[in-house]
Amino acid sequence: MILNLFTLSLMKWYPCFIFIFFMSAIGCGQQTTQKQEAASPIKQHSNNNPVETKPPNTTYNPAFEGQTRVAAIKTHTPYTVTLLATGLGRPWGMAQLPNGQFLITEKSGFIYLLDENGKQLEKITGLPPVDHNGQGGLLGIAIDPQFEKNRIIYWSFSEADAQGNHTAVAKGNISNDEKSIQNARVIFRALPSLKSNLHFGSRLVFDSSGYLFVSTGERSILEGRKQAQWLNSGLGKIFKITKEGKPAPGNPFIKNKQAIPEMYAYGIRNAQGLAIHPQTGELWETEFGPFGGDELNIIKAGNNYGWPVITYGLEYNGNKIGDAITQKQGMEQPVYYWDPSISPSGCSFYSSNLIPEWQNNLFIGCLSGQHIIRLQLQNNKVTGEERLLTDKNERFRDVLASANGALYSITDSGKFIKISKQ
């Protein structure tokens, strides 16, 4: 008997019943195939209608054509969706090792080591304590570019102290038996600490020069929100650091005594997605807006991305934010935004040529949207949007485009999913 992913999602509600009834008939590794009609992989627009059909929450107008609700596109290459694993608790971030194995962070403070087929090999412990209340916990993860020589990984997490908590970055070595982290140490803290369990960020990604980008949130509460505009606060920022947590050479504020030297960009609300474009090397970011106004940005050194001064969203109670403006001189516009919200989390560029129509497209895991977004890009503009896996009723926390041509995703319900060419 084949159990589809939708049925599997019910396991969290009816675990005993499902287990007894289906134990002898199912396991992980199930596959469903999306059969699409043959068509040119380049000519992808079927019509001019956007994928979003719900009315926006605001009456704000975009700053330029194509900034929101571009034409829908559709993948024509047949692909297969495979459920690799379930029961992963509260997974948040993932990275792939050079040997193809996966590291998946679990919010309570440990890392799963899985093989390429989703089989759990180890549960890696020994990380510093995390504050996993609310949106906090063990968050983003990145592999050292020289991992095969030094076995070093990096992770971000919410760290508690006497003043509250904050986003921190740590590093350590995976032990030879792959059961623990050795020599763990915190290399960077985004201060000040606040008493909030919301908006920690935080993704990690290395650039081609071996410097580490880190995203942080502004902690949601009003005390933190305003600090997204402060150059001396670590809240609501993108940082660029060395492997030891020091300012990367050439950082835009490194000579400004009133600013944090590790800071690369500011005016960020809550960025849970960072990815390097495979052709241009530019840093792209996905960011939660409030009630509407989720953003996609290209992060440039020294730029101000506007929060909370400009936004395409509203307060959750429907009130306008600040002066209710969407543009201001000296503040960057998002490349693209969504209204209503889709809650964009982890993102990844597809660089393989296995599915040619996906090459250099950006994939974004969506939480409230319960789908994976595919964005077609041209000259740093979004030219097409597609929503994948809309029938799975899952909150997609992170996505990873592998060099093997497959796309992987983790969900808030603890699933590990693979999308690959049929």
Give burial (CB, 10 Å; 0-12/13-18/19+) of 48.
exposed
Sheet containing 91-96: which strands, arranged edge to edge?
91-96, 102-106, 110-114, 120-124
Instruction: Assign residue 207 a region (left: φ > 0; alpha: ψ between -120 and 50; beta: otherwise).
Output: beta
Helix (H, G, I), strand (E, B) or coil at 370: coil
Q: Residues 279-306, buried b or exposed e (16+ Cβ, 10 A)?
A: eeeebbbbbbbbbbbbbbbbbeeebbbb
Q: Where are the beta strands (DSSP E) in 22-78?
A: 30-34
- 78: helix, strand or coil: coil
Task: Give the CA distances from residue 28 to residues 114, 321, 389, 421, in Å, rounded to whole numbers and listed in that order.
Answer: 13, 46, 18, 19
Residue 357 CA from chain centroid, whole number:
22
Is 371 among the catalytic positions? no
- At 417, the amino acid letter reads I
d(CA 109, CA 27): 27
Pairing between β-strand 336-338 and β-strand 294-299 as defined by DSSP bridges: antiparallel
Question: What string of DSSP letters covers 138-203?
Answer: EEEEEE-TTHHHH-EEEEEEEEEETTEEEEEEEEEEEPTTSSBEEEEEEEEEEEEEES-SS-----
> Which is catalytic among the residues 132, 166, 199, 371?
199
Residues tagged active-site: 199
